[in-house]
Each structure stands twice: as C-alpha cells, then as structure tokens.
Amino acid sequence: MGLVRKKASEQPEEMTPERPSADALRAQLDDPDPDCRREAALALDGVEEAIPDLLARVTVETDANVRDAVLTTVSAYDTDTVAGALAVHLASDDAALRTAVVEALARMPQSMPALLPDLIAAPDHDVRVLTAMVLADLTHPDTAVWLTEMIRDDPHPNVVTAAIDALLPVATADHAELLEEAVHRFPDDPFLRFTVQAALPRLSGTA
C-alpha cells in the first residue's frame, strides 16, 4: 500500500490592517500622542477635504515633528488658499514655526508669486527678511527679479542683506553694480558691506 503524503497545514492569511477613514484620521490630529498626530498628518496626504483641519493644526501644534509632517502634507497642495494661510505665520512670535513655514512656502512655486507683492511690501521688516529666505529656495524663473527688487528698493539693511544672500548663488557680473549700490545706501552696516565685498571678486572673475 502506497504511502499517503499528508498535506502541509495551510498557513492563515495575514490580514492587512484596514486603513482608518479620513474622518478618523482628521480626528486623530487632536490625539494627545504626538506620534499618532504625526501618523495622521502623513496619512492624510491626498485627502483634500482634510486641508482645513491640517491648516488649523499648524496654528496650535507644539511638536516640531508633527508640525513638519503637517506642513509636508499641506504644501503639496500648491494653491493660493493654502499658501495664504501659511504665509500669515511669517509674522508669528514662534521662531521655529516661522522657519518651518519658510521651508513649506519654498515648495509652492505655483501659488507664491501671487503673495509676493504684499510680502515684499509688508510693514514688518522681519516678514520681508523671511520672504527673501523663501525666495532663496523657491524654484521659479523670476526669483532673481524679485530679489533684485528687494535689494534695490527695500529701506531696511537686514532685508537687503537677506535678499543679497538669497541672490548670490545665481548672481552674475551683471549684479555687481546692484550690490555696490546697496553698500552705498547703507554705509554704516558692516555685515552688508562684508557680504558684498566677499562676493564681488567671484562676480567679477577676480577671485
């Protein structure tokens, strides 16, 4: 009589955890556990109806990792509404929030141009400094044009210096006169003068 081979016992199929609903993830943004809030913020990527909840979270979030996750998700929606809601935080008293928002806005080349006229003319010179920082990393063909305008026209030396710093990576010999004029406008600002003097040899090809 032939041997009957026993069938290998069947392994139970692994169950894939069910993805939480959008409503559950939106509610999770208020979870006391920052890890849960961060997971929710990242999982809401692509859930357009959650944008108001995410923008509201930016205002109150105190954990840097959660805030970064929220900003990563919302900045993927490169719209005027999202950019405008984020730009108001450039005037925040929270330095970490301001820096995080600068990074997020720099990832929004479609919507930032509409905001720039108001930001470049903002009464608070610190907001204008942060605007130059956004332009430093914004991928847009007109960033040098906006930075040139700030260097030429802004009345505050800190803003002009920030704009020069942002322009230098793409500056050419054609910008040398603009930078020299900035030094003449603010002769008593040593940092601005040092920044320009350090850059001019490279721009003129004598470095």
Burial 158-184 (b: 16+ CB within 10 A, else e): bbbbbbbbbbbeebeeebbebbeebbe
To the nearest 10 degrees (0 to 180), the angle between helices 143-153 and 157-167 is: 150
- Would you give the DSSP letter of residue 76? T
Q: Greater confidence, 140 or 12?
A: 140
| Residue 186, pLDDT above cutoff 60 | yes
Mean pLDDT, the chain, as a whole number?
Answer: 91
Across the range 24-50, mean pLDDT stands at: 96
Per-residue model confidence as pLDDT tens digits over 78-109:
999 999 999 999 999 999 999 999 999 999 99
| pLDDT at res. 19 | 73
| pLDDT at res. 202 | 86
Could you tell me how far CA 36 lies from the centroid of its own chain? 23
Band of residue 12 on the pLDDT scale cut at 50, 70, 90: low
Return the structure tokens found at 83: 């950019």
| Residue 126, pLDDT above cutoff 60 | yes
Torsion angle in degrees (nearest 10) through CA of 203, 125, 57, 52: -90
How many Å apart are CA 200 and CA 132, to the nearest integer?
20
| pLDDT at res. 6 | 52
| pLDDT at res. 48 | 94
| pLDDT at res. 63 | 96
Across the range 117-132, mean pLDDT stands at: 97
Band of residue 7 on the pLDDT scale cut at 50, 70, 90: low
Q: In the block, which residue shows the tokens 């990527």?
A: 45
How many Å apart are CA 51 and CA 56, to the nearest integer?
8
190: left (phi over 0), alpha (psi -120 to 50) or beta: alpha
CB atoms within 10 A of CB 34: 16
Per-residue model confidence as pLDDT tens digits over 52-69:
999 999 999 999 999 999
- ∠114-96-113 over CA atoms, to 5°? 10
Instruction: Give the residue extent of every domain in the chain.
Output: 112-207
| pLDDT at res. 203 | 86
Could you tell me how far CA 65 lies from the centroid of its own chain? 15
| Residue 149, pLDDT above cutoff 80 | yes
Band of residue 171 on the pLDDT scale cut at 50, 70, 90: very high
- Would you give the DSSP letter of residue 174? G
Across the range 10-21, mean pLDDT stands at: 64
